[in-house]
């Protein structure tokens, strides 16, 4: 991987079929689609399916993986990396997961030569719809090639380990029947730097409102329609390659405390540099509307709301 190189994936089409259901219709993490695995799974089984097949030459130094997961309480999801030696001395599999113990206690754990623990990335964004962002660092060598990436699924185990199991795995006779498995992979990014995406500060943007119209609602409130657009002030500065923008609104009142922000409401998502607001209800006590334009990067990170570009609109209340 050359310096500053970043490899990203948003899931668009199925890559394989399997006994469990693999679908792409669940709510995505950041554009594109997400990959959802759902079905009955035996407690002691590790299910794996290849996502990507190729040949990415590795270099000496760490490789950083960022990926997002949404899963039910009993389901664990990891990623395995297939590495081959360029001098044809052999291949190896590395399993990346948050709960490594869940995978090492299964009988199929011998399939993986090493394990790397993934950590949660504590980014605070509202309305993340259950998605959790993870980061893991894998040591790489210039003598290896990344030939495949696989999704790895198993059920979490909460019972006692049998004393007859010397290697700590769960014996088949200790497992009674199957359970529902459901987990989704939202995105995957592989980079050779762990530096966070640098977002342009709020003052670097120009935000505009067009086609603004107000109408009276039957309950006495106002309804507003408008188009919000944004662009960088410096025309020579390249437009950042963000994957999407989340749009929020904060309704200000005369009693609003500037030190304690009011609750923000999620309005929707834009994949271009514009967003249409239709029929937003504004009560009589609202003195101003503050719209937030929150950028999402391809690595899954996002800009903190208070640091995002904003657009202000002041109501025109009818008598």
> Final residue of a domain: which of 172, 191, 210?
191
pLDDT in tens, 19-50: 345 544 556 565 556 788 888 888 888 888 88
**Residues 6 or more apart whose Cβ sits within 8 Å of residue 88:** none
Let me know whether 168 and 28 are in one domain. yes
Determine the pLDDT at residue 121.
81
Relative to beta strand 35-42, strand 178-191 is antiparallel
Looking at residue 274, which CATH number applies to its domain?
2.60.40.10
In terms of residue numbers, what domain contains 37? Answer: 6-191
Let me know whether 187 and 242 are in one domain. no
- Quick one: tokens of 52? 């990507």
Residue 156: pLDDT above 50?
A: yes
Determine the pLDDT at residue 218.
83
- Residue 1 included in any domain: no
CA distance 37 to 81: 19
Determine the pLDDT at residue 208.
95
Determine the pLDDT at residue 38.
86
| C-beta separation of 79 from 150 below 8 A | yes
Q: How confident is the model at residue 75 (pLDDT cuts 50, 70, 90)?
A: very high
Lowest mean pLDDT among 28-37, 154-163, 257-266, 289-298: 154-163
Residue 312: pLDDT above 70?
A: yes
Let me know whether 210 and 262 are in one domain. yes
> Final residue of a domain: which of 191, 224, 246?
191
Overall average pLDDT of the 160-164 stretch: 46
Closest residue by Cα to residue 59 from 115, 151, 138, 117: 138
For residue 139, give the 3-state DSSP assignment: strand
Determine the pLDDT at residue 1.
41
Q: How confident is the model at residue 163 (pLDDT cuts 50, 70, 90)?
A: very low
User: What separation in angstroms does the CA of 178 have from each of 34, 45, 154, 155, 174?
Assistant: 25, 10, 11, 9, 12
CA distance 68 to 238: 28
> Final residue of a domain: which of 191, 211, 231?
191
- Please write down the long-range contacts of 250-257, taking CB distance under 8 Å and 24 or more positions apart: 250/289, 250/290, 250/292, 251/282, 251/283, 251/286, 251/288, 251/289, 252/286, 252/287, 252/288, 252/289, 252/290, 253/285, 253/286, 253/287, 254/285, 254/287, 256/287
pLDDT in tens, 86-139: 776 678 889 999 999 899 888 777 788 889 999 988 654 445 667 888 989 888
**Residues 6 or more apart whose Cβ sits within 8 Å of residue 54:** 146, 147, 148
């Amino acid at each position: 991987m050359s310096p500053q190189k970043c490899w990203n994936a948003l899931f668009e089409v199925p890559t394989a079929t399997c006994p469990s259901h693999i679908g792409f219709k669940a709510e995505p993490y950041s554009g594109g689609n997400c990959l959802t695995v759902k079905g009955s799974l035996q407690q002691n089984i590790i299910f794996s399916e290849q996502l990507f097949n190729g040949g990415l030459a590795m270099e000496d130094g760490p490789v950083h993986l960022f990926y997002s997961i949404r899963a039910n309480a009993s389901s664990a999801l990891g990623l395995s990396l297939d590495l081959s030696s360029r001098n044809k001395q052999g291949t190896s599999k590395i399993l990346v997961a948050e709960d490594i113990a869940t995978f090492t206690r299964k009988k199929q754990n011998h399939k993986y030569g090493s394990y790397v623990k993934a950590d949660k990335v504590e980014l605070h964004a509202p309305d993340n719809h259950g998605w959790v962002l993870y980061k893991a660092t894998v040591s790489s060598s210039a003598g290896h090639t990344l030939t495949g990436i696989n999704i790895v699924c198993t059920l979490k185990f909460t019972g006692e380990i049998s004393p007859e199991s010397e290697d700590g795995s769960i014996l088949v006779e200790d497992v009674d029947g199957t359970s529902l498995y459901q987990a989704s992979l939202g995105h995957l990014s592989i980079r050779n730097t762990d530096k966070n995406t640098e977002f342009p500060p709020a003052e670097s943007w120009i935000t505009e409102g067009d086609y603004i119209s107000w109408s009276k609602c039957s309950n006495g409130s106002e309804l507003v329609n408008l188009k919000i657009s944004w662009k960088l002030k410096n025309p020579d500065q390249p437009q950042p390659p963000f994957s999407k923008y989340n749009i929020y609104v904060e309704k200000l009142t005369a009693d609003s405390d500037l030190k304690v922000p009011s609750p923000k409401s999620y309005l929707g998502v834009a994949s271009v540099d514009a967003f249409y607001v239709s029929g937003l209800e504004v009560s009589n006590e609202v003195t101003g509307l503050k719209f937030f334009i929150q950028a999402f990067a391809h690595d899954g990170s996002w800009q903190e709301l208070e640091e995002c570009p904003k657009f202000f609109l002041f109501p025109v209340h009818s008598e």
